[in-house]
Structure 1
Amino acid sequence: MTERITTDDAPRNDNPYSQAVRAGDTLYVSGYGPVDPATSEAVAGDVGAQTEQVLENVDRTVAAAGGSLADIVKTTVYLTDLNDYDAMNDAYRARFAATPPARVCVEVSRLPDDVGIEMDAIAYLGDS
C-alpha cells in the first residue's frame, strides 16, 4: 500500500509526479530545486542559498508525512557545476549536523529552470 503525500508548504507543479510517496515506513521525496513555494520562483543567490531552499522544501515535504530531516537516510544531490560542491556542503552540513544521511552527489548538464541544484531524498518514518 502506498500513500501520496502533498503539501502546499513545498513547491507544486503540473508535472505527472507526486511530491512524495510513502510506502510502509519509507518515504520517497521527489527532486526539489530551490523554488520558493510562495512565489513559485527560484530563489536568488549562490548555490549555498539555493541549497538552503532545497532543504527547506524537502523538510516541509517530510513534515507533511509526519517526519523531519532527522528521518532522512539518503539523499541524491544534482549540481550543474561541481565547483559549487563546497558551498552546497556548507549549507547541507548546517542542516544535517548530527547524523548526516548517506548521499550521492553528481554533476549534471542542466536542471529545470536552469537552477544550480536539485535534491531528492529517502526517509525512514518507522519511528515517527
Structure 2
Amino acid sequence: MSAESIDVPGLGHGGMPIPTGCRVGPLLVSGGIGGTDPATGVMPADGPDQVLGIFENVRRFLKAAGATEADVAKMTFFVVDRSLREHINTSWVEMFPDEGRRPARHTLVAQLAAPMVVQCEVLAYVEDGSR
C-alpha cells in the first residue's frame, strides 16, 4: 500500500509542501486542521468561531478523503486555553449525537501560532467500500 495525499482547497499549511492529510489503505490521518474560513483564508479572531470552523473543515477533509463522521476513530484538540473545551463539546455533540458511537478524543494545552487558539487532528478508519 502506498500513501495518498489528501489536499483540501483552503486548508493548506501556509504554502508549505504539506497535504491536509494522508490515507494509507483504510487509515486516514489529518495534519493540523484549524478554523480558517476556506473561502476567505481568514482565521476568525474569536475562539468559539474557530471551533465552529474546525468542525466544518473536518467535514470537508473527511468528504475529500471519501470518509464520513462515522469513520472517525479519534480527534485530538490543541487549545491555548482549556475554557475552549465547552465550545468543542457543543460542536462535538452535534457532530456525534449518539453517545454510544462517539470516537475517542483528547484535548491538550499547546502554544499555537496566533491568531489560532484551537487546532485539531483527525484519525479515521475508512472501509474500502466507503470510497
- After TM superposition, the score normalised by the length of structure 2 is 0.87
Q: Which amino acid aligns with 1:102?
A: A
Distance 2:73 2:24 in 1: 15
State how far apart, in whole Å, the 1-side matches of 2:66 and 2:76 are: 21
Q: Which structure 2 segments of 5+ residues have no match?
A: none
Contact 1:35 1:43 in 2 (8 A): yes
TM-score normalised by structure 1 residue count: 0.88
Distance in 2 (CA, whole Å) between partners of 1:69 and 1:48 is 21
* Equivalence for 2:109: 107
Per-residue deviation, 1:44:
4.2
- Structural mapping, 1:85-96, within 5 Å: 85-96=85-96
Q: How many residue pairs align between the two structures?
A: 125
Q: Is 1:65 aligned to 2:65, yes or no?
A: yes
Q: Tell me, yes or no, if the aligned pair for 1:11 and 1:35 is still in contact at 8 Å.
A: yes
Contact 1:62 1:69 in 2 (8 A): yes
State which drifts further: 10-19 or 116-125: 10-19
Structure with the larger strand share: 1
How far apart, in 2, do the equivalents of 1:6 and 1:15 lie? 12
Q: Root-mean-square deviation (CA), in Å?
A: 1.5
**Paired residues of 2:45 and 2:115 also in contact (CA < 8 A):** no
Alignment correspondent of 1:14: 15
The residue type paired with residue 125 of structure 2 is Y
Counterparts of 2:119 and 2:80 in 1: how far apart (Å)?
9
Q: Secondary structure at the residue paired with 2:39? A: coil
> What whole-Å deviation, never above 9, does each CA across 1:25-56 have from its counterpart, x for those lacking one?
011011111101111111243x3322111011
Gaps of 5+ in 1: none
Are the equivalent residues in 1 in contact too, given 2:73–2:103 (CA < 8 A)? yes
CA contact (8 A) 1:48 1:90 kept: no
The runs of at least 4 aligned residues of structure 1 exceeding 2 Å deviation read none
Matches within 5 A, 1:26-105: 26-45=27-46, 47-98=47-98, 99-105=101-107
Q: For residues 113 and 102 of structure 2, what CA distance do their matches in structure 1 show?
A: 26
